[in-house]
Chain A
Amino acid sequence: MSFGKLEGMDTDRRNNVTVTGNPQGRTVVLAHGFGCDQNMWRLTVPALAEKYRVVLFDYVGAGRSDLSAFSEERYSSLDGYARDVVEVCEALDLSDAVFVGHSVSAMIGVLAADLAPERIGALVMIAPSPRYIDDEDYRGGFSAPDIDELLTSLESNYLGWSAVMAPVIMGNAERPALGEELKNSFCATDPDMARVFARTTFLSDSRDDLKSVRVPTLVLDCTRDAIAPPEVGAFVHRAIPGSTLITLDATGHCPHLSAPEATNAAITGFLAGLL
């Protein structure tokens, strides 16, 4: 398995696009959620690489994306992130790709498929939630103050970011050892950009967008997920006609990390059934 970095095109550099897997296979785009970057697909890629061409990327502001391309205005709505997805698809001239989105990326995928229907032919939504905050009869699992608390949690863990993490993120070639010394360097994010992504993610309400989905869709949720409980997965499934729902017997919000075999089996099973 060889990982090729694309050079030259702006979007590829901006979103740190990685293409791997079988060049002849159907393209599967793996999109990370809030809090991490493309590293979180490390247990998923091996299960797909033999049959499928796999595209990985970081949203602007996350991972090793080009932080200078960040704009608070653009990334204050999920549309901004959806445009990242569409531009990544355009740069690679993808058509009929399968978009696998984790957490908030599942909803970003819905928006991207609506923006560029010719590019995205199927959706896999892992632990999706179209709205995190409770609203009348809808149970998202959180109150507005809960979300404020998360933003505070974010800040208290970013005290040392600017001094310590920035050189790593910026790829400081003069201090290569730094990356190895840092334990939590994988998903380190600029605190200001993380705050914007957190607000955009947890204050979004994309329930109406679910109706726009016209492509085959797999909804994957977990029996014990504190962020997207099974009721929310069922809501998404009901709102997307013809979608398939698989509830994994897994704990946590990242089944592709905590239960990789079951998650991979569900994804590959869905891919195999696509025309």
Chain B
Amino acid sequence: MCRTGRQPDPADADNGKTSDAAFAELLEDSAEDLYESAPCGYLSMLMDGTIAKINTTLLDWLGLEREAVVGRMRFTDLLTVGGRLYHETHFEPLLRMQGRIGGIALEMKQADGARMPVLVSSVVKYGGGGEPLMIRTTVFDARDRRAYEEELLRGRKAAEEARKQAEADRARLQEALAVLQQSLLPATLPPVPGVETAAHYCTASPDRLGGDFYDVFPVDGKRFAFFLGDVCGKGPQAAAVTSLTRYTLRAAALHDSDPVAALSTLNKVLHERYAAGGDPRYCTAVFGVLEPDPATGLVAVRLASGGHPPVLVLRAEGTADFLPTPGGLLVGVLPDARFVAATTVLAPGDTLLLYTDGLTEARTGEDRGSLYGDEALRAFAAQHAGRSPRAVVQALTVLLEEFGDGLDDDTALLALGVPAPAPRPDSHPDTDPDPATKSTR
């Protein structure tokens, strides 16, 4: 490294002499001068607060004359009213109890009426017998520091306010979302003669409006319609589609309860409302009609699917199979869509299970790397075949809970079954806990 100028050498003899001289001068700094001109204020007080000694620094800060202070003023006389209140309620009791107190922020009055923020520390000097003799106090100028602290306090208050506001907003929003979500689902399912119904709705996130929907309602004196589906997307826009879908299907069914006709009507409505305007929104749905036959106890099912996963039929003897509805198109995409119908008959002990793909697309395994899948669901359903719809939904609810954070999407379940004449030993429909129709994880 190259030096461009001459640097003083620390070992230089002349320089050593100079620092010795400066050091000697420092040593001669009198304790008295150090006290009077220290960069902080010093006070000595009697135990009642009467000021016995005060240094020049503090007198200068306050703009006071020594004669006016010593023996005439108490420490609290130097404080603002707020500072005095704080002194009496906090500073003094603590000083008495602890014998010392440090770093308390107070304000002192200056002669010109201005206020000077200070940090005050005090210790009590005790006599040989432990009796308190006097109070020694140091006062630090805290003007800059206080300005900074006030900014911090202001910031903290603002943050606190913002947090409270955000919490209130969030609570309000969640409440509004919950009400809206409720409005998209039936509060209760109507009683269907000769059929037991059970449903469950599992919201993946309380902050998001789900897009799944289901319903069961009477069509005429002897037939009941049901549907379950999944609107593409999430949030308020999906909820708007859900609402339109639900009420369209209900109205369509009253006009013509044929499942293919009902889905075709829905397709026209959604396409006209959204796709025709360049904003395609669509859903998948299964729509069906139940026709119980009181004479035989059998229930005829006719259903159609628009792009929705096939329903499962759980038989009393312990099997479960998909009821295929191949080729059905998503509802709302094309102006004229083709839907596929299928029929089956439910005998006592049989249950029809409708679900949304939140269930089959739940991520499973240690790394959440694989999907639950159709076959796993079919096997699970087979294990519970022969049990009541309520028991089946209950078992699936437990399964959903076990998926934990592997469940990304909302899941709707709807089970429609014909009660078995006598409960099997492993099935206790009456004692099954009520599988709440809706739940939030």
Contacts and interface: CB of A to CB of B under 8 A. Distances in A.
Interface in B149-199: 149-150, 152-153
A187 B92 contact: no
Interface stretch (A31-39, A105-113, A167-175): A31-39
A24 interface: no
Contact of A153 (B85, B94, B101): B85
A226 B88 contact: yes
A152 B82 contact: yes
Nearest to B87: A226
A235 interface: no
A224 interface: yes
A35 B49 contact: no
Given A153-B107, A154-B86, A254 B98 contact: no
Contacts, number: 105
Contacts of A227: 85, 88-89
Interface in B122-159: 146, 149-150, 152-153
A146 B88 CA distance: 14
Contacts of A153: 82-83, 85-86, 105-107
B20 interface: no
A184 B98 contact: yes
B94 A186 contact: yes
A252 B49 contact: yes
Contacts of B105: 153, 156-157
A41 B44 CA distance: 27
Contacts of B80: 149
A258 B76 CA distance: 15
A250 B117 CA distance: 28
B89 A186 contact: no
Contacts of B152: 159
Contacts of A226: 76, 84-85, 87-88
Interface in A15-60: 33-36, 39-40, 42
B153 A36 contact: no
A39 B97 contact: yes
B97 A183 contact: no
Interface residues of B, number: 35
Nearest to A104: B89
Contact of A155 (B83, B101, B153): B153
Nearest to B89: A35
Contacts of A152: 82
A159 B149 contact: yes
A157 B94 contact: no
B48 interface: yes
A71 interface: no
Given A142-B81, A146-B85, A226-B76, A183 B92 contact: no
A251 B75 CA distance: 12
A253 interface: yes
Residue of A142, A149, A250 most packed against chain B (CB within 10 A): A149
B89 A257 contact: no
Interface in A141-155: 142-143, 146-155
Closest 8 CB pairs of A and B: A149-B82, A35-B89, A251-B48, A257-B96, A153-B86, A146-B81, A253-B88, A150-B85
Interface of A: 33-36, 39-40, 42, 103, 142-143, 146-157, 159, 183-184, 186-187, 202, 224-227, 250-254, 257-258
Given A40-B93, A226-B85, 19 more contacts: A36-B89, A36-B94, A146-B82, A149-B80, A149-B81, A149-B82, A149-B85, A150-B86, A156-B146, A156-B153, A157-B104, A183-B102, A184-B94, A224-B48, A250-B48, A253-B88, A254-B92, A257-B93, A257-B97
